[in-house]
Amino acid sequence: MRLKVKVGPKGQAVIPKEVRDILGIVPGDEVVFEVGDKQAIVKPAGRSSTVSDFIETIPKKHKLSKEVDVKKLILSETAERYGM
């Protein structure tokens, strides 16, 4: 499906009803924009937000070359800063 919509003066565009119905998007839901190569993909954000969801929004050229244990990193930083 390909639909064309107009961007308003505040930079907003309405997601057409047909698309909202297909994706199950209802008022109050959040959506994620994935941008790259001069295109954008819009998809429902889901009901919960995780670190993995955040990481997926980072462009590949800026991602780390190896996996990081984020929980361990946060605990270590907290202990170092606050002497815990």
Write the CATH number for 59: 2.10.260
Domain residues for the domain of 44 are 17-82
Q: Is-above-0.75 flag for pTM? A: no
Note whether 41 and 33 are within 8 A (CB). yes
Instruction: Report yes or no on 59 lying in a domain.
Output: yes
Q: Is residue 12 part of a domain?
A: no
Structure confidence at residue 73 as a pLDDT band (50, 70, 90): confident
Residue 2 lies inside a defined structural domain of this protein: no
Q: Tell me if 6 is assigned to some domain.
A: no
Residue 26 token pair: 């209802």
Q: What are the pLDDT digits (tens) for 1-52? A: 889 999 999 999 999 999 999 988 999 898 988 898 889 988 888 755 566 6
Rounded-to-integer distance, Cα 60 and Cα 36, Å? 9
Note whether residue 5 is domain-resident.
no
pLDDT at position 53 is 67
**Higher model confidence: residue 50 or residue 82?**
82
Q: What is the pLDDT of residue 17?
A: 95
Question: How many domains does the chain divide into?
Answer: 1
Cα(30)–Cα(2) distance, integer angstroms: 21
